[in-house]
Amino acid sequence: MFYFLHEILKGVEWLKAINVFQYVTFRAIAAAATALLLSLVLGPLVIRWIRRLRLHQPQRDASDMRGLEKEEDYKRRVPTMGGVMIVGSVLLSALLWMKWGADLVWLALFCMAGLCGVGLADDYLKVSRGNTKGLPWWGKIIGQCLVGLVVGVALYLDSERRGVLTALYVPFLKNPLVPAMGIAAILFIELVIVASSNAVNLTDGLDGLAIGCVIMVAGVYALFTYISGTKEFAEHFLVPYVNGSGELTIVCAALVGAGLGYLWFNTAPAEVFMGDSGSLAVGGALGVIAVMCKQEIALVLVGGVFVIEALSVILQVGSFKLRGGKRIFLMTPLHHHFEKLGWARTKITVRFWILSVVFALLGVGTLKLR
C-alpha cells in the first residue's frame, strides 16, 4: 500500500520524503516494525479471545509423558491456536509494505495462509475433542500437499523465471547441480514446503523454542532474498538471480517482527501456544521462500535445529519398528529427550537457540564458498 502511495505521489515536490518507500531495505525494516507492533497489540486480544472460547492445549498420552506430568498440567492451562497472531501480523504488514504487483509475495502469503488453515482445522479438532487426535495424519499431509501443489504448479507455469526456478542449486557450487528438473520441479517444491512445515511443527514443544529458531532462519532468508533479487549482488556472490525475489525480503522481515512479538507472550512461562496453525504456516513460509530465492538446499543448514528435531523422530520410529521396540532416545522430538534427562526447559530452549545461531552463521558463510 505504501509503495503504491509512493508511485501516485512521487511527483509532488513537497512529498519527496516518501521516496524512501521505493527501497526494499526501508520497507523491510518498516514491515518488521509494523509486524512487531501488530503482534504486541493483537496478542492480548487474541489470548483473551482464545481463553473465552476455552481453546486450551489437549492432554497427551500419559505413557508418553511419564516423568513430565507437571509440564503437561501447566500446558493444559495455556491457550493454543496463537499462530493466528503471527500469521495475521505477517499478512497485514506485508500488504502494507509490499509491491502489490509482486507475484512471488502473493504466492508466499497464499502458502502461509493455506497452511494456517490446515493447522487451524487440526487445532480445533484437538481442543474440541479434548485430546491430541486432530486431523488424521493423512488428512494433514493431504492439506499440506495441496497447498504445496498449487505453489509448485504456479512456479512451474511462470515462463519468465521457469529456467531458474526449476534448476537445483547447491550452496557450494557455482553452477546448478541439475540445470532443469522439468515437471519434477513441482514435486520437489511440494516436498520442500511439506518437509519444512512439518519440521517446524515437530520443534514446537517448549516455550519459545520453535519461534526463536524461526526468527533466526527468517533473518538469514531476508538477506538471501535481498541478494537474489538484486542483480549486482547476485552476480557478486555467484547466486542465482531471481527477478522479483527481493520483495520477499518484506515477508521475511515481517516474520522476524511478528515472531519477536509472539515471543513476548510465548517466553517461559508461556501465555499462549502457536499450535499447528502457527507452526505449519511459518514452516511452510520458510520453505516456499527458500524455493523462490533458490536457497532450498541451504535451508537444511540454516534450519539445522528443525532438521535435527525431525531426524530424531524418523530415527526413533525406524529403530522402534526395525529393532523390535528398541528406542534410540528417551523421547522424541529431541528436546523431550533432554527433558527426560532432567535438563531445565529454559536451558534446552536457550541451548537450541545457540545452535540455531551457529547454523544461521554457517548458512550465511555459504555465500562466500562459491
**Which pLDDT belongs to residue 91?**
97
Please say whether the beta carbons of 78 and 57 come within 8 A: yes
Confidence check: pLDDT of 151 > 50: yes
Q: 3-state SS string over 32-73? A: HHHHHHHHHHHHHHHHHHHHHCCCECCECCCCCCCCCHHHHH
| Cα 241-245-250 angle, rounded to 5 deg | 145
- Residue 14, pLDDT > 50, answer no
Cell of 268: 517461559
Would the pLDDT of 70 be above 90? no
Identify the top-confidence range among 119-123, 139-143, 287-291.
Answer: 287-291
Question: Which stretch, 17-31, 56-70, 211-225, has highest mean pLDDT?
Answer: 211-225
Beta bridge partners of 168: 178
In a domain, 347, yes or no: yes
In a domain, 154, yes or no: yes
Domain membership flag for residue 7: no
pLDDT at residue 66, rounded to an integer: 60
Rounded CA separation 282/257 (Å): 13
Q: What is the mean pLDDT of residues 22-32?
A: 93
The amino acid occupying position 2 is: F
The answer, yes or no, to whether residue 145 has pLDDT greater than 90, is: yes
Task: Give the pLDDT band (50/70/90) at residue 180.
Answer: confident
For the stretch 290-322, pLDDT in tens is: 999 999 999 999 999 999 999 999 999 999 998
Does some domain include residue 207?
A: yes
Tell me phi and psi for residue 177, to 5 degrees: -70, -40
Rounded to whole angstroms, the Cα distance separating 84 from 255 reads 13
Ranked by mean pLDDT, the top range of 18-27, 42-51, 101-110, 316-325 is: 101-110
Cα 185 to chain centroid, rounded: 21
pTM of the entire predicted model: 0.92
In-domain check, residue 259: yes
Let me know how long the chain is.
Answer: 370
- Amino acid code (one letter) for 261: G
Domain membership of residue 38 (yes or no) is yes
Between the alpha carbon of residue 56 and those of residues 87, 270, 368, the distances in Å are: 19, 12, 46
In-domain check, residue 221: yes
Cα 339 to chain centroid, rounded? 24
* 203-245 pLDDT per residue, tens: 998 999 999 999 999 999 999 999 999 999 999 999 999 999 9
Q: 81 Cβ partners below 8 Å, 6+ apart?
A: 50, 55, 120, 123, 124, 127, 273, 274, 275, 277, 278
Ramachandran class of 356: left when φ > 0, alpha when ψ lies in -120 to 50, beta otherwise: alpha
> Averaged over 42-59, what is the pLDDT?
79
User: Interior CA angle at 306 toward 147 and 256, to 5°?
Assistant: 75
Name which of 167, 193, 171 is nearest 363 in CA terms. 171
For 302-328, give the DSSP string.
HTHHHHHHHHHHHHHHHHHHHTTT--S
Q: Determine, yes or no, domain membership for 4.
A: no
Count structural domains, the chain. Answer: 1
d(CA 125, CA 135): 7
Residue 368 has pLDDT above 50, yes or no: yes
DSSP 213-267: HHHHHHHHHHHHHHHHTSHHHHHHHT----TTGGGHHHHHHHHHHHHHHHHHHHS
Residue 7 has pLDDT above 60, yes or no: no
Q: Could you give the 3-state DSSP secondary structure of residue 272?
A: coil
Predicted confidence (pLDDT) at residue 61 exceeds the cutoff of 60: no
> Which structural domain, as residue segments, surrounds residue 50?
24-368
* DSSP structure string for 93-161: HHHHHS-TT-HHHHHHHHHHHHHHHHHHHHHHHHHHHTBS--S-HHHHHHHHHHHHHHHHHHHHT-TTT
Closest among 113, 140, 110 to 124, alpha carbons compared: 140
**51, amino acid identity:** R
What was the pLDDT predicted at 56? 64
Q: What is the pLDDT of residues 335-352, one digit of tens each?
A: 999 999 999 999 999 999
What's the start-to-end Cα distance of the chain, in Å?
38
Q: Do the beta carbons of residue 152 and residue 187 sit within 8 Å?
A: yes
